[in-house]
Amino acid sequence: MSARTKARKRALDMLFQADVMNTSVMDVVADEAKRAVGEPDRVASWLYAREIVDGVNDHREEIDELIASYAQGWTIERMPNVDRAILRIASWEMLHNPEVPAPVAINEAVALAKEYSTDDSGRFVNGVLGKIAEHAAS
């Protein structure tokens, strides 16, 4: 598993935790930063996970508006917490990280959805992110 794949999982954990516990993302990041000090072999994944979470936090309004507009029949609040976090991560990568091609962001997000969410989540995440990728390319 690549460092970026591990970082996406770590970012998912942080965003999910903040969402479920209804706490600040920055508080969760601070707790994870303390843990990361004791894990020098995971520095690469920690740095990118932090970049993702900071980026999602900084651009949350824009990202959520796009997700809501392309998730037909689903409000942000009604989505499963895991799906919401996955969509935010991949949306940030497609919109704000030119190093990550849209197909890579989508494939990684679909893999996370299939592993950590419902049976239908992979297809749902793929559909929403495909539309966001089209939007980002225009």
| Residue 15, C-beta contacts closer than 8 angstroms, at least 6 positions apart | 25, 53, 56, 85, 88, 89
Using pLDDT thresholds of 50, 70 and 90, give the confidence band for residue 33.
confident
What domains are defined for the chain?
A: 3-137 (1.10.940.10)
Q: Which of 92, 116, 112, 113 is closest to 102 using CA atoms? A: 92
Q: What Å distances lie between residue 26 and 3, 31, 33, 80, 99, CA to CA?
A: 22, 9, 10, 21, 24
Query: What's the chain's average pLDDT?
Result: 93
Arithmetic mean of pLDDT, 49-61:
96
Q: 112 near 12, Cβ under 8 Å?
A: yes
